[in-house]
A and B are shown apart, each in its own frame.
Chain A
Amino acid sequence: MRVILKTRPRKKPHVPIEAEGIIPQNFLRKNDLTVYEGNRERNLEDLFFVTVEGPAVSPDQVEIILTGDTGRIKRVGEYMNAGRIIIEGDIGMHCGNFMSAGEIIIRGNADAWLGREMRGGRILCEGTAGDYCGAGYRGEKRGMRGGTIEVMGNAGDFVAEYLSGGEVIIHGNCGDLPGVEMRGGTLVIGGNCSRPCGNMTGGTCMVIGDPGELLPSFRRNGSTEVEFGGKKFRMAVFRGDVANRGKGTLLVKEEAIISRSGRDERL
């Protein structure tokens, strides 16, 4: 089954839409889905032109296609457990919150909290992602726990905060403090960032580009070789964050240029 949701023009296009109902399992049977536009509850049809093609007997046969002005739609794919969502443009915050299986493909950019506390499945974002990609909710002790998030462009600050499992791959640059409080899982940064892995206690983070500066609380622990994007790199291995009795692993290219604090004597 293919469900096409095309946005209708709105009088106030900046008011956010909260649409946690847009997940494959909800389209198996015809039901009256509602979404919120600001503080008003609306029928799905009030905000979208809805087209349904073909049948489906289980949610993994459902594919949802979102098109139009989708950058303000929040919580799409929340608690999704099967099937596929394709977003042709940008998507609002909290896309793929808590998803456990299935696939989300975003052709444009994703706003903050992409894949927040995700448990499984896969998210591919072809554009850029906002802050807190793969992180947790405020005060939550665990961020993403399983699955994969892959971002082809850049991502914002605090990427993979409290990452506890699964894999986050950012091909471009990250902002400040990626992998902060990280406790498990894998974070791969293809580009640059600053202050990776502050306060980490576990997991593995690898920075292929310039890490901006390294916190003093990482202890050098040999070297290794890794492969990323079909190329091989010699990486310096660090353990930390020792300020937090951390046992995480941070890999930084041995010939990395540390732009912010100059050459680091540990490299």
Chain B
Amino acid sequence: MTMTETEAPAVRRLSTAKALSEGIALEMERDPSVFVMGEDVGAYGGIFGSTGGLLEQFGPTRIIDTPISETGFIGAGIGAATEGLRPVVELMFVDFFGVCFDQIYNHMAKIHFESGGNVAVPMVLMMAVGGGYNDAAQHSQCLWASFAHMPGMKVVVPSNPYDAKGLMISAIRDDGPVIYMFHKGVMGLPWMAKNPRSIGPVPEEAYEVPIGKAAVVHPGTDVTVVTVSLSVQHCQDVAEKLDGEGISAEVIDLRSLVPLDREAVLTSVAKTGRLLVVDEDYKSFGLSGELAATIAEQDPSMLRAPFARVTYPDVPVPYARSLEQAALPGRERIEAAIRSLVRA
């Protein structure tokens, strides 16, 4: 046995995109009923890399490039799922849900209920979300609350490579429809500015990350910061910075909006007495309001400072960088909000 063989194996680090596609590949190897379809998922490997390498491994009968016919192929995914296949369907950007939402919320999300539980729709609908790279009003939205608002779909929003793989595997194994939203900014793409957190350790084997369970990604005692997706990375950065100044923020990555891990939020707020929600989706009628309501319903006296939120304002995403950067929930806004909360 040589020296190198006795050394612990180097931790393998993958981008979120690679981790996600690996999750799909492992399930496809295990379960022949799993297949992928969507625009540019084949030779291109997904515009944001979610299906990289899959065509080469599984061929065009299981990795299917579709026409630009979202109602058609999402509906076809539903039908395939009700007949026992497990489709992973990609909608290229969440912003395009407008052309196909009937299939999503009137069919994919409701069939199980309408059939009295007799018809299952084991399907994953994955899509890119988020802005920050000047792609303007029709290609930069998050919109997760719009899906979460309507009953019947789980809504998953990973923030890092490890979770991306485990949540995808859980989503494929789930017997109901799962909306899987990956932020372009967490994918670790070579052609987009990225946080180093978008590349991280990922085990080679298949594993599940449970859907509906939040993670405390930065423990703290002074303030609870609840967030999802790319904003998790920003909040971790800010929390680490503030640690050095004696401000202890607890950052919670919800990892899914539906189911919503209210317990994790309540447990943390019971400890800190302060709640900040950071959300890149539009401000009103969304995640931040839902969490404020959660506290209000449970026990408003848990809070010793007023509830606070840093969100995307109720404005379509502007093209100009000066406007978009002002609108995004960036590190500066998050830091300022935490500082003012702990002073309150």
A and B pair up: no
Which A residues are within 8 Å of any B CB, using their own CB? none
Which B residues are within 8 Å of any A CB, using their own CB? none
